[in-house]
Amino acid sequence: MVLIRTRLSTRLACEYSRSARSPTNNAETIRVNKNTLKQKLNNGKSTIGPFVGLPSPGMVETMGWMGFDFVVIDCEHGPMDFETAEHMIRAAELSGTTAILRIGLNEQQHIQRYMDAGAAGVMIPLINNADDGKKVVDAVKYPPMGKRGAFAGRNARFGLQDMAEYIKESNEETFVSLQIETPEGIGNADEIIATDNADAIFLGPGDLSVNFGISGQTMSDKVVDSIQDLHERITAAGKHTGTLGVTAEQTLFWHERGIKWIVSSAPKFMQAGAADYLGAVKDPLGL
């Protein structure tokens, strides 16, 4: 009986292996993954998802299974290397959510490595002028929209997809977000917002509060008024506004003001859940 099972398993494995290797079985169905975040925003729908700043594919996957529209893998502040980021992108794909990467260095050779790893888009911080914004688009988009170097990586199924088709679909699907968070960026907001082929402008209330001299007061009148003013200008230009909504109350606050791309925080979810649990059990357990 064991011998029969072994032979059957071996035969099935061989048949599967031959099928998987056959280009004719795969090439006709290979396409760039659809960017559901971009689709939803372009259709006027609200979207929510967290920053994930810990090097954990499992956390990304959990956020996807929980039903979030996207995750922002935070490679600006988080300790992720390229390989870990790639695994986190895979976890997002597996659980049906869109992987956007926040990348701290606005350099083409740096950004395109994350794009080649499979990122559906980027959020680039410290955009202070039009040149900064154009550099991001150039790194994310292939010619003629940008200057990204051609490479048949994960999104091109390592060369199994037709290259011309892949480049066309990649330029259509990739999501570019420029982050304004400094007084210089605010002063040059109109030229940043006008950046060709940028999809969204993300407004960082944390850094805005620090630059305004009111560190941590992310819901102060000055921060809120600045975000609201910029949001109106972004909307008038036909682009999407993003901002931070760490709590449910903040998320609803910005939703009521017309912002449809709201980013929360996976570590904050974990902290809030742990705090509720500890608050409920510490006294009964005598801790």
Of the two residues 152 and 122, the one the predictor is more confident about is 122
- Does the structure show a pLDDT above 50 at 28? no
- Does the structure show a pLDDT above 60 at 55? yes
pLDDT confidence bin for 159, thresholds 50/70/90? confident
The predicted-structure confidence for 82-91, as pLDDT tens digits, reads as follows 999 999 999 9
The predicted-structure confidence for 65-86, as pLDDT tens digits, reads as follows 999 999 999 999 999 999 999 9
Is 110 designated active site?
Answer: no
Q: Is residue 2 part of a domain?
A: no
Lowest mean pLDDT among 13-22, 91-100, 149-158, 240-249: 13-22
Q: Is residue 88 part of a domain?
A: yes
- Does the structure show a pLDDT above 70 at 116? yes
Q: Is residue 98 part of a domain?
A: yes
- Does the structure show a pLDDT above 90 at 19? no
Q: What is the pLDDT of residue 32?
A: 58
- Does the structure show a pLDDT above 50 at 172? yes
Residue 244's CATH number: 3.20.20.60
Q: What is the pLDDT of residue 31?
A: 55
pLDDT confidence bin for 5, thresholds 50/70/90? very low
Q: Is residue 65 part of a domain?
A: yes
pLDDT confidence bin for 33, thresholds 50/70/90? confident
Q: Is residue 63 part of a domain?
A: yes
Q: What are the φ/ψ torsions at residue 181 (nearest 5 degrees)?
A: -150, 10
The predicted-structure confidence for 225-238, as pLDDT tens digits, reads as follows 999 999 999 999 99
State how many domains the chain has: 1
Neighbours of 190 (CB within 10 A): 12
Name the catalytic one among 77, 110, 231, 240.
77
- Sign of the alpha-carbon torsion through 202, 68, 83, 116: negative
**How far are the Cα atoms of 78, 79, 114, 243 from residue 87, in angstroms, in the given order?**
15, 14, 11, 26
Distance CA 195, CA 199 (A): 9
- CB neighbour burial string for 1-35, b if at least 16 within 10 angstroms, e if fewer: eeeeeeeeeeeeeeeeeeeeeeeeeeeeeeebeeb
Neighbours of 182 (CB within 10 A): 18
Q: What is the pLDDT of residue 52?
A: 98
| 108-125: average pLDDT | 97
| 94-115: average pLDDT | 97
Q: Is residue 217 part of a domain?
A: yes
Burial class (CB in 10 A: 0-12, 13-18, 19+), 142: buried
Q: Is residue 142 part of a domain?
A: yes
- Does the structure show a pLDDT above 60 at 15? no
The predicted-structure confidence for 255-285, as pLDDT tens digits, reads as follows 999 999 999 999 999 999 999 999 999 999 9
Supply the range of the domain harboring residue 130. 31-281
- Does the structure show a pLDDT above 60 at 3? no
Distance CA 101, CA 40 (A): 18
Q: Are the CB atoms for 243 and 262 separated by under 8 Å?
A: yes
Q: Is residue 7 part of a domain?
A: no
Q: What is the pTM of this model?
A: 0.87
CA angle 74/95/171 to nearest 5° reads 65
| In the chain, % of residues over pLDDT 90 | 85
- Does the structure show a pLDDT above 80 at 30? no
**How far are the Cα atoms of 15, 158, 219 from residue 225, in angstroms, in the given order?**
63, 47, 9
Q: How many CA atoms lie within 13 A of 2 on its CB side?
A: 0
